[in-house]
Amino acid sequence: MPRSLSVVVLATLALSTALVGGMQRPDSPLLWSFMNRFITPDGAVVDTQNNGMSHSEGQGYGMLIAVAADDRRRFEQIRQWTMTHLAVRKDGLLAWSWNRQEGRIGDMNAATDGDMLVAWALLRAAERWNAPSYRQAAERHLDAIEALVVKHSGRWLIKPGPSGFMPEGDALHVNLSYWVFPALQAFAKAHDGPWQAVLDDGLKLARRVLEQRAVVPDWIRVGPDGSIHPSSIVGQPGRSGFDAIRVPLYLHWAGLGRDVAERHWQAMQRPDSGKTFVLVRETAEPVVHMAADHAGYAAIGALVSESAPSWPASTLAHDYYPAALQVLSRLATASEADA
């Protein structure tokens, strides 16, 4: 083949690799590195920080990453593992955890964010590969998720799961990181339901929380009168950390509430911590319990704040969760470029 022609062919191949289905593919080596490191050959996403367990959240992240990498074979492996091992509930939701050491379900309760991530990944897969069967599966999943959307104290709120989050009379315990805002946008376009109202009320709730607290806590309790309080249903009340760190990521990804994302992130910064940012702290008092500077966590700061330092985009974080957040931040950046 003449050199001039080979250059044209290689350039064309490179362009087709970077642009799939009209969407830019972000950092494919980073995506494949995540899949090769954290996803087993049969499609289980392994949480290396939690005894190697697998859970619906991780399966959803893995499916989203496989779609972004245009790897349908890997997507189908993850989907099939999810349906075989976690789709065991009668209500159409996924059991949220799988104990890999014992080879059984770890907890039959569902985690709404995990189900939302899986449904969103199915919608994106249906669009990417023109696959109506994936859209039909997403719609069935959304019908099940809608049962966890409730009108409470005048707001449309998301129950974190079907069991255990209204233990105190009419108060509801919620987690704002379960508002996967870009997923809710996709649901509102694709399926009947209160998805836009849920999105709008989630953003209002985040702003209301930040009127009272320095940063968004992982868990809050919403009373029947609409009052908002720190929740102790999981961990210490008022803590903001591993869960809430996703709130600015999801807001920015959706192109919404960037003032909220920036305010939350800036309030997490503590120069005296000796780290790039604070990971866990009290939300009423400036008390740092844990600080970290993993690339995956710092990636969110670089995404939402112009004052945040740059981060190593090409080096994947060592453990599952910061690595997932690192890759998701790249997907959010690519979505922003496509807009």
113 has catalytic annotation? yes
List the catalytic residue out of 27, 47, 70, 113. 113
Residue 151 DSSP symbol: E
Cβ pair 154, 226 in contact under 8 A: yes
Is 107 known to be catalytic? no
Q: At what angle do helices 56-68 and 72-85 cross, to 10 degrees?
A: 160
CA neighbours closer than 13 Å in the CB half-sphere of residue 71: 22
Instruction: Supply 295's token pair.
Output: 């690339």
Residue with tokens 């709008």: 200
**Catalytic annotation, pick one of 47, 57, 201, 262:** 57
How far apart (Å, rounded) are the C-alpha atoms in residues 144 and 286? 40
d(CA 300, CA 308): 9
Query: Measured between alpha carbons, how far is 288 from 282 in angstroms, rounded to an integer?
Result: 7
Give the span between the Cα atoms of 89 and 72, in whole angstroms.
Answer: 26
3-state helix, strand, coil in the chain (%, to 5): 50, 15, 35
Structure tokens at 251: 């807001």
- Write out the catalytic residue numbers: 57, 113
